[in-house]
Amino acid sequence: MINPVSFKNNTQTVNNNKSEPSSKGKSDEYKDPLASQWLNYVLCSTELGALIHEIAPRTAQALWIPTIMYLGADIYDKYKNDKDTYSPSRKRGVEQAIYQGTAGFLLPALSIFVGQKLTSPLGKLVNKGISVNQKEAVLNHIKNSLEQCVGSRFNSYENFENFVINSLENKIMACKNEKKSDSIFKRLIKFCQKKYTLAVKDDEKITNFAKQNIKELYEIKDALSKKEKPKQISKSAFRNYLEKSTNLRATYGKDYANDALRYALKSYQNKLIMKNKLIKTSGGLVALAITLNPIYNYVQETFIPKYIDPGIDRFNRAIIDRSILKQHIKSDTGKVQ
């Protein structure tokens, strides 16, 4: 979250002009318009966007827009004003930009990302030895396989299982070979992109989980074919299937009725995938809750005063020294002439 409250630093000027107390009292006190309470809630959109990125990527990107708009206004305001005094300061503006960039954008998003990454291997404790990311990859693979299976491959449990398991094993082998041939830099990027999720030594646990999921799908399929409600799906999903099946059968014939079955099975897979994503989202939320205040305190009390302020001071001194040197050279040149 972008912090709308400006931090204290050595660049803040002190107004020594003592003015008479206002007869209006508290109504004349300066209030920063960018520090209003409603903005505090709006500016949580960065963390919310990072949290729901796994669930709704496009919505997550849109949620960054309010914070980016505020960021520009806040940096300009801190550059132009020192509390209630008009006192432009480039140093104060640079400090605020770095502060908001690190404490408001980079470090909270990194904390959420790390929390989600750490949640994945912890899933092995409850997912029969496979991580949350591996489970999601298998569920997505089986969902995509439903589109490719038609005719006897879809109608036969054995044929469908053989097709899915063989294609999954080929995918695992391709992942392993890709990981071996890639450079360290590519490995780092693809690791963050979850490209090596299935590149594991013990792939038996993954195939066992896939077989279990296929068995559940065909239990649902058999029940729906008999127009019975499976325990794995909701009443609304069952009614939706009956409606689609009736319409497809009446419009296109019996051969197209499988499309309604396929849609119902994909909906079930999407439900499992969403639950999986929510687990990672909760891990990111826990990580953010633990690290948010330490991030603000570190950036405000240590990072800015210890590393940023001295660097800006050295840069400013270098510019001043260079300007003095140029003036000195010009004056010496004028005397010689």
Tell me the per-residue pLDDT of 47-62, one tens digit each, with 9 for 90 and over: 777 777 777 778 877 7
Cα–Cα distance between 337 and 330 in angstroms, integer? 11
Percent of all residues in the chain with a pLDDT value above 90, rounded to a whole number = 15
Domain boundaries, the chain: 33-122+284-327, 128-279
Residue 321 confidence (pLDDT) above 90: no
Q: What is the pLDDT of residue 19?
A: 44
Q: Which residue has the tokens 């054995």?
A: 158
> Contact, 190 vs 109, CB < 8 A?
no
What number is the average pLDDT over the span 173-198? 87
CB 264 within 8 A of CB 224: yes
* Band (86; pLDDT cuts 50, 70, 90): low
Between CA 279 and CA 277 the distance in angstroms is 5
pLDDT (mean) for 12-35: 46
Is 0.75 topped by the overall pTM?
no
Given a cut of 60, whether residue 2 has pLDDT beyond it is no
Q: Are 219 and 161 in contact (CB under 8 A)?
A: no
